[in-house]
Structure formats: structure tokens, C-alpha cells
Copies of this chain bind each other. A is one copy, B any other.
Amino acid sequence: MSEPTAARSQRKFPCEECPLAKKPVFRAFNDKELDFVSHFKRGELTVDKGATILAEGMRNPHLYTVLTGWGFRYKLLPDGRRQIVNYVMPGDLIGLQGTLMDEMQHSIETLSPMVLCVFERGKLMSLYRSFPDLAYDVTWLASREECMLDENLLSVGRRSAIERLAYLLAFLVDRAVATGVIDGAPPLLPLTQNHVADTLGLSLVHTNKTARRLAEHGLARWRDRGCEVLDVEGLATLARWETREGRQRPFI
């Protein structure tokens, strides 16, 4: 487990100009909150693509909010089998488990360069004491994560391979569009089939064959080391899934 090839920088994103606050999905802070948060913030962390931000078993890691970039959260079995449990995108709060429990129970790796806001772990309790609204938001974020995990579990447990893939792609595009990590139309997800396989609980080969079937239906195709999603609606229908993103939500 190597440390992220990280470079600390002087704030490129002071809280007053937080790139998240500008996006319509995110709820803005009031002045006092802004003031607190900018003290709560300890610095910024910039990591390369493919870096490990947090590792299973680590103690005492920081608390972060993703400002820009993509990553994924995963767990390993002793023999190396990997399960990706969710993806992380701007606005996501990560490392909470490391703060509340003793040690991290999962790892996080980036899929693109990423900028994170670093918070002082020890100050979380003072956030709870002074800003109940923000504390409520932290809980909200944890609850939302739980909700996504429930959906993923439903998918892996009960959907067929092609439904799972369709669900995953629709889910990711939905989130990515809402948080603005994605630009093009059609959207291009920076995922390899290997990541997809480890998310869906399938083998790489079978994932590939399933991806081909989706491509034949004109729903999505692999291209330039990423997945180009051609028809989100079609994917959602195939997976029998209804989107729920799009509402305003908090961040820290």
C-alpha cells in the first residue's frame, strides 16, 4: 500500500470560492458556517490518477471532501478477490469510518486526478457542538451512502448480468451529471471493464461479453479507455430502475 503521490499546495480553492458551492445541486453555507468550515479545513490534497487515498486497516486518517475527480471505494478478501462497493465523486465525504470507528474498513483509489479538502479529524466533534445543521448534513451524507449501497446490493444480488451493467452505468451517469464531474454528450465514464467486473461481482471475461451485448443494443460502448453511455433512459429501463438524484443536497 503506497502513500498517495500527493502534493500539498496552498489553497487553490478557498472555501469562499468552493467549486462545489457554485453548483446548483449543493446547498450553500451561511456566513457563520462558512467561517467555521474554512477553519475546519486544514488544507488541500491533490492526488494523481490511480493513487490510493485511504487503505483498509489504516488508523487515524483524515476526513476529506472530494472537490474534483473520481474514485472508487473497495474491499479485498485475503486471497485478493476485490469488490468495489461504491464510487466517489465531488461532494462526497470520505474517511468518516476511520474517524468514528477505530480503523478503515475499506480502501479508496482514484480513477482520475483528484483534489480533496482535508479536514481535521479531531474537530469533527466541535462541528457537532457548534453547528447542528452541519452535523445533520453529515448524517444525511452517511444515510445517502447507505441508500446507494442498498441499491448496489439489490443489483448484485438479484439482477442478471446485463441488468446489473445497465443499472451501474445509469446510476453512474446520473450521479456524475448531478455533480458535474462529467462533460461530454454522450457522457464518457473513466472506467475499465475490470472495475466494472469488480463492481458487479462478475468475471472480466463475462463482463466483456455483457458489454458487447449492450453495445449491440446501442445503449453503451467502450471507447478510449472509458465507457461511452449512449442511452441512459434505455439503460434505466432495462435495469428497471428509477433515478432519484437531482434534488439539492448538502456537503461539508
Contacts and interface: CB of A to CB of B under 8 A. Distances in A.
A36 interface: no
Interface string A110-146: 0000000000000011001100110110111011111
B83 A147 contact: no
A101 B147 contact: yes
Contacts of A106: 150
A26 to B, nearest CB: 16
A88 interface: no
A174 interface: no
Contacts of A81: 158-159
Contacts of A83: 153-154, 157-158
Contacts of A135: 128, 132, 135-136, 139
Q: Which of A73, A77, A105, A153 is packed against the most chain B CB atoms within 10 Å?
A: A153
Interface in A238-252: 240, 244, 247
Nearest to A127: B132
Interface of A: 73, 75, 77-79, 81-83, 85, 96-97, 100-102, 105-106, 124-125, 128-129, 132-133, 135-136, 138-140, 142-147, 149-154, 156-159, 198-201, 240, 244, 247
